[in-house]
C-alpha cells in the first residue's frame, strides 16, 4: 500500500498512529542532530523527522534525497516541538521508521514554490512541473468545483446535458474554422465547432426543452493574451421561453456559483441597454465596480471658440474623484496613454477642481470661470476632483474615453479583484456594418431574433433593428452572451439575405436548420458562458491561460508536446493532400 | 408566458386550475360533439378537450391543427370521463379557452411515435425528428443521468475533472489519427486525441493524484456498427496505487451506477485471467450471463483415427443444454454459421445425449460408446444435451467456438438484456505479435507496465510477459480497460525499443513524457470506460448509435448537416494545402 493518509491530513488527534505517506520532497533541512524533510502531495505538506540517535542508514538515505524525489515513508505521528501554524499539519511530524524512494528526480528547471523563479516560456515547456505549484493547482481545483456546481444547478433545473458532435461542417460566417480532412470522403473536410449553436437549436426542435453542455469550442484566430484556439463554453438553450426567462435562469446560476464556490452574495444583477452602456461607459462590457460614468459636455463645451471642441461631434469626460493632486507628469502619462496607436486619441483636456472651489483647466484661455462652473455641475465635481475630457467622433471618442476610464480606475485601485460587479447588457443591435466587406454582419450570430417591434425596420434601417440579445458582464469582462433565436423559416431566410447570403449559399450552409424550422420549431433561446473567463474571474486572474491545464502559446503551439508538427507523407497521401510551401 | 406546467405534470389534484401548456400536437380525434388533441412535450402528453357547444371558432382552429404543430393553450383542468391509465396525466384533461399556434409543421417524413414507420436513412437525415420519439429521447436522458452520477461519484472520491487539449500531436502508434492543419504554423498539423493518455499521465506527474474526464476521443477507422469516428470516454487516472486499488475504485463506480440508475445490485465483480478467458470462452471479453464453458477434448478425442481430430492442435467443444432435439436443419444452420468467411471454420462435430442415456454422434464411425461416454463425462452432459465440437489450431478454433457459443446462446435466449454479468479480465499479455509488420505491438498501449515478476522475460520471451492490464467486461462487451503505467524513464525507453521505435522516433514522439518521468513521476495507473457502450448496455441496445444525439453513418458522414463537405479554395490556400484527386 502506498499510503494510509494524505500529506494534508494528520493532526494532533492522530498522535501515536503508525502511518504511511507518499509524496514529493519539498525541502530538507539538516539541523545538527535532526534532519527534517517536508513531503508534499496535492492535499498538503507534512514534516518528516529523522533523529541522529536513530537509524543512521535511514538518516543517511534521508540526507541524500533531492528536491522533487517521490518517496514513501512509514512512521509514527508525534507532536512537533516547534509548531508551524501556517500549515494544517503544523502541529505534528512523522518520526520515520521506513523510507522508500519511489522515483528520483533531476533538479527541476525552476523552483516548485508558490513564487517561482521560472519565466513564462520555461514554465510552459515544463507545464507538468508548473502544475505542481499550489497557485496553479488551485486554479484547476476551482475550475473543477465550478464545473461540478454548474452541472448540479442545471441538473436541478431539469436541463439535460447532451453531447453534440465535434466533427461538423465548415461555415463561412463568423471566425475562421479549424478543419479536419476526411480520409473516407476524399477532398472533403469536417470543421471543429466554434459553438454547438445549430445543434442546440435542433435539440430545441426535437423537444429537448432545456439543454446544456460544458463543451470545447474552437476558433482559428490570431491569438491574444486572453484567447486560446480551443476554449470551453457552458452552452445552454431553452424552449418555450422569452428573454426574461433566460436572464432569470442564468442570473440564478451565476448567483449560485458565487454563493457556493466563493461565498459571495451577488445580489440582483442590474440591467443596462447597449445604448446606455455605450453612452455611459463607451463599452458594451462596462466595468461597473466603480462609477466614473461619462458626462456629455457638448452643451457647455461648445460655442467658446476652442477649435478641438468646436470641430468634435462629441465632447465627453469623466470625473476622476480626488485626483486634482495629479502631477503634470502623471497627466502627461495619461495623455501618452490615450495617444498610443491602439487607442489613437489626440489628447486630453483636464480641469482641476481646487480645494478653494475654483476650477483650473488646461484650456482656460477659452473658458471663463462661469463656464468652468457649468462643467463642474455637469460632472457633479467637488473640491479635489480632476475632470478628464476628450473630444472627437462619437463612437471613437467613447471608445477612447473607455480606455482612459479603465486606466485611471486601475491607478486608483478601483478594480479590486475581490469585488464582483455583474451587469446584464441588453437590447444589442441586430446588425453591425462592416466597412471592409461593405455589408451588415450579425452582431451575435445569424440566428439571433430581431425584436418583434423592430422587424419593420429590417428593410429601411437595418442598423437600427435591436435584437433580443444579451450579454452577462462581470467586472468589465463579457462572461456570457446569448439571444432569443429565430424559429421561423421565412424570417431566418430573410436574415441570411440581409447578411449577404445568396439563397443558394444559405440553403447549402444552413438548409438543414431552415428545413427543421418547417417541422414545428418551438420558440427558443439560450446563452453560452465562457468557462475559462468565468473561472479566471473567480480566480482573480487577468488571463485565461492559468485556468487551463495545458494551454497553447500565442502562436497556437503546445511547446510541451511540440504540437502542431509535421506528419508522415503517407498520412498526407491517405488524405489526398499536398502541402504547398 | 409560454407555460405554467409541463405536459406531464397535471393530476386530479390540479382540478379547477387555470393552466397554460405548450407542446406539439401528437394526434387529434374528432368524436361528434368533442374534439380531442393530445399535446406532447419532453415530460409527457396531456389531452386537450374542445366541446362543440363552446367556442366554435376555437374548435374550428383545433380541427385545423396538423401533427407536430407547436401550440400554446390555456384552459381549465377537468376530470376525464374515460380515463387512460397508461399515461400519468390520464385522469384529467384541459378544457381549452385559448389556443395559439406557435409554429405550424409540414407533414413529418415518418411518424413520431414509439414504433415508427421510418427507415434508418430517413431517420438519420431527420435526426431532429427522430429525437422527438420517446425511446430515442429516453436514451439521451439515461446518458445524462449516468454522466451526472459518474461525476457525483468521482467527485465524492476526490477525483478532479481536468480538461485536456483536443488539438494535440499526431503519433504513429495505435489507430489512425484525425489531423487538423495549422494555419499559424503552415505545413504542420495537430491531431485529435484517440485518448488523453499522455496528458493524464502528466497530470499524475504533476501530483493531481486522482483525475477524471468525460471526454470526446477520435479514431479515423473504417467504421462498424458499434464504432463512431468520435466517441466518449470516462477517462480516469490515479497515482500512488496498485492494480487492486484501481479495480476496487471502478468496481465501486460501476456498482454505484447500476444501483442508482437501474436499481440493480451488481454484487461483487468476479475476476478471470486473460489465459482463463481464452481457454474457457475463446474471448478476452466473455459473455458470462450463461455458462457453456469450453471443454477441451484432446485426451478423449485423439487416437481414434478421425483425421480431423488427429490433425488438429486442439479439439474443443461446448455443451448446449437441452438441445438434443435440434433438427438436422438447425444443426446444418449452425454448421453454415461457423463456415461463414468471417468465422472460417470447416465444420462442427456434434453428439446428442439421448434421453435413454446413449450418445449419438456425427462421427460414430470413429468412436465407440465407451469413448462417447468419456466425452459425456468431460462435458458433464445429461440426457437431452447437445455437444458441439470443433477442432483446429488452438487460437483459431477457440475464436470460432466463441462465435458458435454466442450464436447458440442467442438462440436459446440466454443473452437477456436485463441480466447484467460483469467480469474483470486481468493479466493481459503485454505484447502481441503482428504478422503483417513482423513486430510486437502493445496489446493495450506502449505505456502499460509489465508485471514486475515478468520483466526478466522481456528480452528472451517478450510474448510471455504479462501486463498489469485489465478490462471490465459486461455481458460480453468490453466497457472499460486500463493498466498500471510505466513511470520509469528507462523502462519506458526499453518498451519503445521492443515496439520497434528507433531511439530518435521515441524521443521525437514521446520525449516530453520520458523527460517528465525524470522529474519525480509517481507510480500510477488508470482506466477508461467507453461511455457510449456503457450507456448502450444500460439501455439494452446492441449499437451505440442510438445513445448518441447526432451520430455519423458508416461512411463517417453526418447526413443531416451534410458533413464532411468541400471547403472554399481560399480556406485551403490559407492552410497551404492542395487536394490531389
Give the DSSP per-residue string, A183-201.
SSSTT-EEE--S--HHHHH
Task: Indicate if the pLDDT at residue A436 is higher than 90.
Answer: no
Q: A206 at the B interface (CB within 8 A)?
A: yes
Q: A224 at the B interface (CB within 8 A)?
A: no
Residues A260 and A325 in one domain: no
Beta sheet of A210-218, edge-to-edge order: A160-161, A210-218, A230-239, A524-530, A477-484, A469-474, A422-426, A271-273
B439 domain-assigned: yes
Q: B562 at the A interface (CB within 8 A)?
A: yes
Q: A519 at the B interface (CB within 8 A)?
A: yes
How many angstroms separate the Cα of B566 from the Cα of each of A166, A390, B219, B572, B581? 17, 50, 21, 10, 13
- Domain endpoint, select from B380, B415, B450: B415
Helix (H, G, I), strand (E, B) or coil at B468: coil
Q: Do B202 and A128 touch (CB under 8 A)?
A: yes
Residues B478 and B513 in one domain: yes
Residues A444 and A480 in one domain: yes
Task: Name the residue among B561, B445, B559 with its Cα closest to residue B194.
Answer: B445
Of B189, B198, B566, the CB nearest to A188: B566
The C-alpha cell 484517440 sits at: B194
Q: A516 at the B interface (CB within 8 A)?
A: yes
Residues B254 and B340 in one domain: no
Q: What angle do CA A290, A294, A296 make, to 5 degrees?
A: 160
Task: Name the residue among B308, B309, B311, B316 with its Cα closest to residue B280.
Answer: B316
pLDDT recorded at residue B53: 74
Residues A307 and A239 in one domain: no
Nearest CA in chain A to B150: A148
Of B143, B181, B184, the CB nearest to A555: B184
> Could you tell me which residues of A are annotated as the binding site for ATP?
219-221, 228, 478, 530-533
Rounded distance between C-alpha atoms, residue B282 and residue B403, angstroms: 9
Rounded distance between C-alpha atoms, residue B285 and residue B470, angstroms: 11
Rounded distance between C-alpha atoms, residue B132 and residue B24, angstroms: 10
Residues of B whose CB is below 8 A from A223: 184
Residues A295 and A258 in one domain: no
String of b and e for B81-99 (b: at least 16 CB within 10 Å)?
Answer: eeeeeeebbbbbbbebeeb
CATH number, residue A49: 2.40.50.140
Q: A106 at the B interface (CB within 8 A)?
A: yes
A578 domain-assigned: no
Written as nine digits, the cell of A373 is: 462652473
Task: Name the residue among A467, A470, A441 with its Cα closest to residue A455.
Answer: A467
Q: A129 at the B interface (CB within 8 A)?
A: yes
Q: Which of A19, A191, A207, A548 to mutate to test the interface with B (most CBs of B within 10 A)?
A: A207
pLDDT recorded at residue B37: 97
Residues of A whose CB is below 8 A from B518: 105-106
Of A24, A128, A187, the CB nearest to B516: A128
Of A70, A206, A242, the CB nearest to B522: A70
Residues of B whose CB is below 8 A from A579: 186-187, 576-578
CATH number, residue A381: 3.30.1360.30
pLDDT recorded at residue B473: 98
Maximum alpha-carbon separation in chain A: 93
- Domain endpoint, select from A103, A125, A146: A103
Residues A141 and A266 in one domain: yes
The H or E element containing residue A559 is none
Q: For residue A225, name the pLDDT band (cuts at 50, 70, 90).
A: low
pLDDT recorded at residue B171: 79
Residues of A whose CB is below 8 A from B578: 577-580
At residue B248, φ and ψ (nearest 5 deg) are -65, -45
B77 domain-assigned: yes
The C-alpha cell 500565442 sits at: A554
CATH number, residue A193: 3.30.930.10
How many angstroms separate the Cα of A541 from the Cα of each of A124, A264, A405, A532, A538? 17, 17, 20, 11, 8
The dihedral region occupied by A26, where left means phi > 0, alpha psi between -120 and 50, and beta the remainder, is: alpha
pLDDT recorded at residue A224: 67
**B283-305 tens-digit pLDDT:** 999 999 999 999 999 999 999 99
Written as nine digits, the cell of B567 is: 471547403
Tell me the average pLDDT across B256-267.
97
Nearest CA in chain A to B521: A103
Rounded distance between C-alpha atoms, residue A95 and residue A102, angstroms: 19
**B422-450 tens-digit pLDDT:** 999 999 999 999 888 888 999 999 999 99
Q: Where are the beta strands (DSSP E) in B56-136?
A: 70-79, 92-103
Contact criterion met (CB below 8 Å) for A203 and A516: no
Q: B309 at the A interface (CB within 8 A)?
A: no
Residues B408 and B431 in one domain: no
Q: Do B520 and A552 touch (CB under 8 A)?
A: no
Helix (H, G, I), strand (E, B) or coil at A477: strand
Of A166, A182, A552, the CB nearest to B556: A182
On the question of a cis peptide bond just before residue A564, with omega within 30 degrees of 0, the verdict is: yes
Q: Which of A4-18, B222-236, B337-351, B507-521 has the lowest mean pLDDT?
A: B222-236
Task: Indicate if the pLDDT at residue A388 is higher than 90.
Answer: yes
Q: Where are the beta strands (DSSP E) in B309-385?
A: 314-320, 349-353, 359-361
Contact criterion met (CB below 8 Å) for A406 and A412: no
Helix (H, G, I), strand (E, B) or coil at B452: helix
Beta sheet of B295-296, edge-to-edge order: B295-296, B314-320, B386-392, B349-353, B359-361
Tell me the average pLDDT across A364-393.
95
Q: A522 at the B interface (CB within 8 A)?
A: yes
Q: For residue B51, name the pLDDT band (cuts at 50, 70, 90).
A: confident
Q: For residue B532, name the pLDDT band (cuts at 50, 70, 90).
A: very high
Q: B550 at the A interface (CB within 8 A)?
A: yes
Q: Do B103 and A522 touch (CB under 8 A)?
A: yes
ipTM value, please give it: 0.95
Residues B169 and B252 in one domain: yes
How many angstroms separate the Cα of B353 from the Cα of each of B372, B375, B413, B545? 9, 10, 21, 43
Q: Do A205 and B128 touch (CB under 8 A)?
A: yes
Nearest CA in chain A to B151: A148
The H or E element containing residue A130 is helix A127-130
Helix (H, G, I), strand (E, B) or coil at B420: coil
Residues forming beta bridges with residue B386, ordered by sequence position: B320, B352
Residues A165 and A141 in one domain: yes
Helix (H, G, I), strand (E, B) or coil at B168: strand
Tell me the average pLDDT across A298-318.
95
**A156-194 tens-digit pLDDT:** 999 999 999 999 998 776 789 999 999 999 999 999 999
In chain A, the percentage of residues whose pLDDT exceeds 90 is 90
Nearest CA in chain B to A2: B240
Q: Do B131 and A40 touch (CB under 8 A)?
A: no
Number of folded domains that form chain A: 3
Task: Name the residue among A353, A347, A359 with its Cα closest to residue A315.
Answer: A347
pLDDT recorded at residue B224: 66
Task: Indicate if the pLDDT at residue B183 is higher than 80.
Answer: yes
In chain A, the percentage of residues whose pLDDT exceeds 70 is 99
Note the residue count of chain B. Answer: 581
Written as nine digits, the cell of A345 is: 486619441
B110 domain-assigned: no
Nearest CA in chain B to A131: B206
Q: B415 at the A interface (CB within 8 A)?
A: no
Q: B354 at the A interface (CB within 8 A)?
A: no
On the question of a cis peptide bond just before residue B564, with omega within 30 degrees of 0, the verdict is: yes
Q: Which of A113, A142, A171, A184 to mutate to test the interface with B (most CBs of B within 10 A)?
A: A184
Q: For residue B245, name the pLDDT band (cuts at 50, 70, 90).
A: very high
Q: Do B552 and A181 touch (CB under 8 A)?
A: no
pLDDT recorded at residue B55: 81
Written as nine digits, the cell of B331 is: 444443426
Q: Which of residues 168-187 of B touch A (CB under 8 A)?
A: 168-170, 172, 176-187
Q: Where are the beta strands (DSSP E) in A374-464?
A: 386-392, 422-426, 431-434, 439-442
Nearest CA in chain B to A217: B166
Rounded distance between C-alpha atoms, residue B41 and residue B37, angstroms: 13
Of B24, B181, B579, the CB nearest to A520: B24
The H or E element containing residue B233 is strand B230-239
Task: Name the residue among B495, B500, B480 with its Cα closest to residue B434.
Answer: B500
What's the 3-state SS for B20-77?
A: EEEEEEEEEEEECCEEEEEEEECCEEEEEEEECCCCHHHHHHHHHCCCCCEEEEEEEE
Rounded distance between C-alpha atoms, residue B274 and residue B271, angstroms: 10
Written as nine digits, the cell of A14 is: 492522530
B173 domain-assigned: yes
Rounded distance between C-alpha atoms, residue A531 and residue A518, angstroms: 34
Q: Do B164 and A218 touch (CB under 8 A)?
A: no
Task: Name the residue among B67, B71, B44, B45 with its Cα closest to residue B58.
Answer: B71
Rounded distance between C-alpha atoms, residue B545 and residue B548, angstroms: 6
Rounded distance between C-alpha atoms, residue A106 and residue A67, angstroms: 8
CA within 13 Å, CB half, B129: 33
Rounded distance between C-alpha atoms, residue A297 and residue B294, angstroms: 93
Nearest-neighbour CA in chain B from A364: distance (Å): 53
Residues A432 and A406 in one domain: no
What's the 3-state SS for B242-294?
A: CHHHHHHHHHHHHHHHHHHHHCCCCCCCCEEEHHHHHHHHCCCCCCCCCCCCC
Nearest CA in chain A to B578: A578
Task: Indicate if the pLDDT at residue A352 is higher than 70.
Answer: yes
A472 domain-assigned: yes
Q: Where are the alpha helices (DSSP H) in B380-461?
A: 394-411, 457-460
Q: For residue A118, name the pLDDT band (cuts at 50, 70, 90).
A: confident
Residues of A whose CB is below 8 A from B147: 161
Per the model's pLDDT, the better-predicted residue between B52 and B99 turns out to be B99
Q: Do B198 and A561 touch (CB under 8 A)?
A: yes
The H or E element containing residue A143 is helix A134-156
Residues A267 and A147 in one domain: yes
The C-alpha cell 465548415 sits at: A170
At residue B343, φ and ψ (nearest 5 deg) are -105, -50
Rounded distance between C-alpha atoms, residue B167 and residue B234, angstroms: 19
pLDDT recorded at residue A408: 97
B159 domain-assigned: yes
pTM: 0.96
Structural domain of residue A80, as residue ranges? 12-103
Q: Which of residues 46-85 of B touch A (CB under 8 A)?
A: 68-70, 72
Q: For residue B54, name the pLDDT band (cuts at 50, 70, 90).
A: confident
Q: Which of A42, A118, A200, A206 to mutate to test the interface with B (most CBs of B within 10 A)?
A: A206
A205 domain-assigned: yes
Task: Name the residue among A179, A204, A227, A255 with its Cα closest to residue A486.
Answer: A204
pLDDT recorded at residue A173: 67
Residues of B whose CB is below 8 A from A180: 178-180, 192, 564
pLDDT recorded at residue B515: 97
Note the residue count of chain A. Answer: 581
Amino acid at each position: 500500500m502506498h499510503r494510509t493518509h494524505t500529506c494534508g491530513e494528520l493532526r494532533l488527534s492522530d498522535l501515536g498512529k503508525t502511518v504511511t505517506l507518499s509524496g514529493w520532497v519539498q525541502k530538507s533541512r539538516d539541523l545538527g542532530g535532526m534532519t527534517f524533510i517536508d513531503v508534499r502531495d496535492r492535499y498538503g505538506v507534512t514534516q518528516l523527522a529523522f533523529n541522529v540517535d536513530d537509524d543512521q542508514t535511514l538518516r543517511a538515505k534521508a540526507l541524500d534525497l533531492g528536491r522533487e524525489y517521490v518517496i514513501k515513508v512509514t512512521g509514527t505521528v508525534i507532536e512537533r516541538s516547534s509548531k508551524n501554524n501556517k500549515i494544517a499539519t503544523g502541529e505534528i511530524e512523522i518520526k520515520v521508521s521506513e523510507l522508500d524512494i519511489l522515483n528520483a528526480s533531476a533538479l527541476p528547471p525552476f523552483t516548485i514554490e508558490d513564487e517561482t523563479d521560472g519565466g513564462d516560456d520555461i514554465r510552459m515547456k515544463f507545464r507538468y512541473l508548473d502544475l505542481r505549484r499550489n497557485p496553479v493547482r488551485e486554479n484547476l481545483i476551482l475550475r473543477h468545483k465550478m464545473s461540478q456546481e454548474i452541472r448540479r444547478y442545471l441538473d436541478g433545473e431539469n436541463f439535460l446535458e447532451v453531447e453534440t458532435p465535434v466533427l461538423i461542417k465548415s461555415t463561412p460566417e463568423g471566425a475562421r474554422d479549424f478543419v479536419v480532412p476526411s480520409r473516407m470522403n476524399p477532398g472533403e473536410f469536417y470543421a471543429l465547432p466554434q459553438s454547438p449553436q445549430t445543434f442546440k437549436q435542433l435539440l430545441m426542435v426535437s423537444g429537448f426543452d432545456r439543454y446544456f453542455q460544458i463543451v470545447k469550442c474552437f476558433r482559428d484566430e490570431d491569438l491574444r493574451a486572453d484567447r486560446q484556439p480551443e476554449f470551453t463554453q457552458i452552452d445552454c438553450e431553452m424552449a418555450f421561453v422569452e428573454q426574461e426567462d433566460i436572464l432569470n435562469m442564468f442570473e440564478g446560476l451565476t448567483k449560485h456559483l458565487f454563493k457556493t464556490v466563493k461565498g459571495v452574495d451577488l445580489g440582483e444583477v442590474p440591467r443596462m441597454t447597449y445604448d446606455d452602456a455605450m453612452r455611459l461607459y463607451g463599452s458594451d462590457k462596462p466595468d461597473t465596480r466603480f462609477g466614473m460614468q461619462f458626462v456629455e459636455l457638448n452643451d457647455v463645451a461648445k460655442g467658446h471658440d476652442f477649435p478641438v471642441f468646436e470641430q468634435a461631434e462629441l465632447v465627453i469626460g469623466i470625473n476622476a474623484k480626488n485626483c486634482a493632486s495629479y502631477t503634470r507628469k502623471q497627466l502627461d502619462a495619461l495623455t501618452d496613454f490615450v495617444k498610443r496607436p491602439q487607442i489613437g486619441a489626440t489628447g486630453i483636456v483636464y480641469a482641476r477642481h481646487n480645494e478653494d472651489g475654483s476650477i483650473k483647466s488646461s484650456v482656460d484661455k477659452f473658458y471663463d470661470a462661469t463656464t468652468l462652473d457649468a462643467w463642474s455641475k455637469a460632472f457633479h465635481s467637488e473640491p479635489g476632483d480632476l475632470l478628464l475630457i476628450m473630444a472627437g467622433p462619437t463612437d471613437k471618442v467613447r471608445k477612447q474615453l473607455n480606455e482612459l476610464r479603465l486606466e485611471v480606475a486601475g491607478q486608483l485601485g478601483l478594480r479590486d479583484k475581490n469585488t464582483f460587479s455583474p451587469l446584464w447588457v441588453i437590447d444589442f443591435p441586430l446588425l453591425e456594418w462592416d466597412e471592409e466587406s461593405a455589408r451588415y454582419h450579425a452582431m451575435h450570430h445569424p440566428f439571433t431574433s430581431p425584436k418583434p417591434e423592430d422587424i419593420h425596420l429590417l428593410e429601411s434601417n437595418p442598423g437600427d433593428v435591436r435584437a433580443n440579445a444579451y450579454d452577462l458582464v462581470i467586472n468589465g469582462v463579457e462572461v456570457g452572451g446569448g439571444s432569443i433565436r429565430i424559429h421561423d423559416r421565412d424570417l431566418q431566410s430573410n436574415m441570411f439575405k440581409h447578411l449577404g447570403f445568396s439563397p443558394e449559399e444559405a440553403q447549402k450552409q444552413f438548409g438543414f436548420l431552415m428545413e427543421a424550422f418547417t417541422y414545428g420549431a418551438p420558440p427558443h433561446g439560450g446563452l453560452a458562458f465562457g468557462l475559462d473567463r468565468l473561472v479566471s474571474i473567480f480566480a482573480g486572474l487577468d488571463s485565461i491561460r492559468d485556468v487551463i491545464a495545458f494551454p497553447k502559446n500565442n502562436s497556437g503551439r503546445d511547446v510541451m508536446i511540440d504540437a502542431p508538427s509535421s506528419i508522415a507523407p503517407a498520412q498526407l497521401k491517405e488524405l489526398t493532400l499536398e502541402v504547398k510551401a
